[in-house]
Amino acid sequence: MRASLLFLLILALAVACGEKKGPQTGEPDLEEPEWIQLFNGKDLGDWQPKIRGFELGDNYRGTFRVEDSILKVSYADYDTIGETYGHLFYKTPFSRYRLRAEYRFVGEQVADGPEWAYRNNGFMLHCQSPASMGLHQDFPISLEAQLLGGRDEGERSTMNLCTPGSNVVMDGELRTEHCMNSNSKTFRGDRWVTVEMVVLGDSVIHHLVEGDTVMTYFSPRMGGGAISGYKPEAYVEGQPMASGYIAIQAESHPTEFRKIELQLLEQ
């Protein structure tokens, strides 16, 4: 475990445990919480798809599927995608947690996928509930820990931040642009990449890649734009985003996940 991850985990556990003292040492009790497997390696029973233009629960053309113990975003049954973007929501909302996943991009992007969506996926954090999304809403109100794969040439960081219907504070300033790059290296080809997100309610969120912290931001709140088709009652300008659902995306490039697990950082 690298120093940056170890420091963040100790800090998160100390906060979550409220500096609870051990029975004999007088030191904080920092026993690591157990991992909850969000993906069981068998099926999507704990997940629910919401694909633009389709009712909640309609897994259009088998966009999300499990094959060979891998959770796949698949376009095997698509000819074109248009703007039929999708999201797969885990059943339970969370507030303070550590999320860890292993992902990779594979194959070719669906024929008419947009240039920006090449080897592009993401974990949507503090999402609005899937039931509160509009039928034709493109992206949920959320904080996107963006996953990107490198092209043949040039640099392309992963675990960036995109902000559909949200704003954050970074380096002491309110940031209202839609996407901000991390300082990660570029990952090319079909290799597996391990990423983590340490989420502490509406206080601070850290993104990590292969154990290194690549981005930190604070005070997430609703704001800005970059969403369409949403129900007005779901959006409250300036409201702190302290909890919500976790979702993964389907934006036109096949993506695979072989592990998605979570530690609760609260009592």
256's enclosing H/E stretch is strand 255-264
Q: Is the pLDDT of residue 48 over 70?
A: yes
Of residues 28 and 25, more confidence is placed in 28
**Tens digits of per-residue pLDDT, 55-86?**
999 999 999 999 999 999 999 999 999 999 99
Within 13 Å, how many C-alpha atoms sit on residue 239's CB side?
Answer: 14
Within 13 Å, how many C-alpha atoms sit on residue 38's CB side?
Answer: 29
From residue 225, alpha-carbon distances to 26, 141, 147, 232, 235 in Å are 48, 9, 21, 13, 10
CB 18 within 8 A of CB 98: no
Distance CA 243, CA 220 (A): 10
Question: Quick one: DSSP state of residue 152?
Answer: S
**Tens digits of per-residue pLDDT, 142-183?**
999 999 999 999 999 999 999 999 999 999 999 999 999 999
The three-state secondary structure class of 50 is strand
Q: Note the pLDDT of residue 14.
A: 46
245's enclosing H/E stretch is strand 245-250
Look up residue 138 and give its two tokens.
């493109």
- CATH level 3 topology of 34-264: Jelly Rolls (2.60.120)
CA-closest candidate to residue 199, choices 123, 121, 122: 123
CB 182 within 8 A of CB 207: yes
The residue ranges of every structural domain in the chain are: 34-264
